[in-house]
Structure 1
Amino acid sequence: MSEKQSINFLRGVPAEEALSFLIPMASEGYEKVIRRHGVDVLQYGHFTGFKPLRDLIGGFHRVNPERVIVGNGGLEIISLFFKSLPRESNIIVEEASYDRVLLDATRYGHHLIGVQLTPEGVDLDQLKAVVNKNAVAAFYGIPFHHNPTGINYTEENRKGVERVCREQGMLCVWDICYQALRYDGKENGLIAVSEWGPILTSSFTKTISPGTKCGYMVVPNHYVGHLSRVIANTRINPNLPTQAFIADFIESGRYDEFVKYLCNLYRPRMEALNTALNSLFPGAFPVSISGGFFAPLTLESISIQKEASFIESVQQAGVGIAAAWDAIPPNCVEEARKKGLFIRLTFPAYAPDKIRWGISKLKETTARFSR
């Protein structure tokens, strides 16, 4: 990486300014809840999480709090869900998705089947075709500010997915961790949850901080007991002081204020990314990013044979990137690689000027390799 200037597009970390802004609130908040709850948050607690936080989350999603399970980060909760499924289950995912979720599913022996994405969401015809040919246990998708493609499902498409899942007796899991992080001045609506579902999973990693390690899942009534037993046999209890802090943070109104601060902070960074990509890589950037942390980029001129040397050259220019093939389910990789190098770019951690600089360096290197 260049000593004079560099940018790392690889890791989806919050901005340092945001974490610094949070420090006094977190310091005060943790001390407050330790004094308020004392041994209740320092002793062993219930494995499904801190009840006041579960109550707040249940109220937000308009469900019985008994359906809410809170754990040590969104990935832990998703992992426990995968563990709760019969081993070697078929799970439908999008043709590109969060790479760590895909990896975790395969650790439990599950088989991933990718279905195509459109700017509106999943290709419903292909989804129906897959479930008609396979016994499928669950569908997993990211409907808001998708990682890594940046798309937002339309409400019609999202409900179409839910209808297919319900008719086929499949569990439908929506990962809504970016729902609150919309920077274009609009808001994402709530997903209605019935007795059937869908299952919702989220985390406070991006809306508060990665270090808090707190995530949750809203599950159907009939699944609570089964998932709770899996959790109880995996770990004893989650981080209760953190969950108490988050509950107080929400109750005090400071959480909503902090999320608004984040959206204002990240908006010019998002706009810089959109402008630079659309200007320098027209056609390679399929949607306009409206929130979240990631944007995709497919470089048609970079073949499989050129990948390693291209990435090395970009890094030497001061820009950190990597091939994002781990985000592609096995049945979609061959077709995806025919289109060129697929990379994922993150933007919230960097100022607009640095984002523009990084995209321009990426363009310069791509142009050199295209000759």
Structure 2
Amino acid sequence: MTTGKPLDHFVNETPFDPYSATKLTPDQERFYLSSQWRLMWLKFRRHKLAVWSGLYLVLVYLSVVVSEILAPYAFTARHTDYIYAPPQELRLFHDGEFVGPFVYPYDVSLNMEELRWDYRENMAAPHKLRFFCTQDDFEGARYAFWNLFETNFHLVCPAAGSQFFLLGTDRLGRDILSRIIQGARISMTVGLIGVTISFVLGITLGGIAGYFGGAADWCVQRVIEVIRSFPSLPLWMALSAAMPVNWSPILVFLGITVILGLLDWPGLARAVRSKLLALREEDFAVAAQLMGAKPTRIIGKHLLPSFTSHLIASVTLAVPSMILGETALSFLGLGLKPPVTSWGVLLNEAQNFNAVALYPWLLWPAVPVIMVVLAFQFLGDGLRDAADPYK
């Protein structure tokens, strides 16, 4: 009879004794015959924080695909009448009646004593927001979606003649929310491309060092020690400052990703080397050698798949370091520069302490950086625990 227990109930159960007379239930039989990936999934989904972090990251990367649609304005659109406008509060009720999502428009006046603009909400005229809409009557409404076709479709649109600044504006009157949404495309992509470069170099050099040993291992180890002896941030800064100033934003973006990838591979290479040093003496690896398999086939088909789960966890934990690297370089003015926008470029606006004291909403771009880094850390912890056969 079937116990009715879910399959992942048996993840931490005492292993079945094959010499026992007890007969396996169908659920137990499915569990004990599951593949390594199936067992990893059963253990991973018990780590609720890692699962939610993974879902959050999936949503972030999906938003990158349609960032122009999600953003109320183009990231370059300027609203010169609303410089340093504070965040508008999203409301549902006006005078005790349900109106739906709306904001109160701002009445703007110049404060001559403090030499700043004062913004006051006009409580008499609520401006409803529209969703899944097209709009042409404000700057930045039209955009070229992935440079394929021009459209003016947005997830949310302010009322005609109104404005919608959920997170406020910056010194040029640009909507911070729109810039954060569209800046995610650069910041999140840097992490993936940088990790890809690091992953290829780490597996290649670490595999050579761990499988062949000898002079190859000595050379790779010395290169790793030299790279690891330099502080990461000053080395990033030096290489970034060496890039030609006349490069286009695309070339600067590629240069930053290559720099981050070239300097992040030593940790992964050492992990691959240590695993291959142990696995190359196993019976299945020796049998492949005796059958005449080439070293590249032995490494790629037999050794690396034996700890693929650990590699996935390592890559997941490496992505946030790439994102933080790009953010730090752009914050210091040595990475990406306008008109390209990223979270680091946005934080560069908050370098002036006096501006932050008067306009604290300039620090909003730090929030997605923190949330994404924490999500990657939690996801990596969950994958690492799921890949560990002793847990």
Does TM, scored on the shorter chain, surpass 0.5? Answer: no
TM-score, structure 2 length as denominator? 0.20
Q: Which has the larger radius of gyration?
A: 2
TM-score, structure 1 length as denominator? 0.20
Structure richer in helix, relative to its length: 2
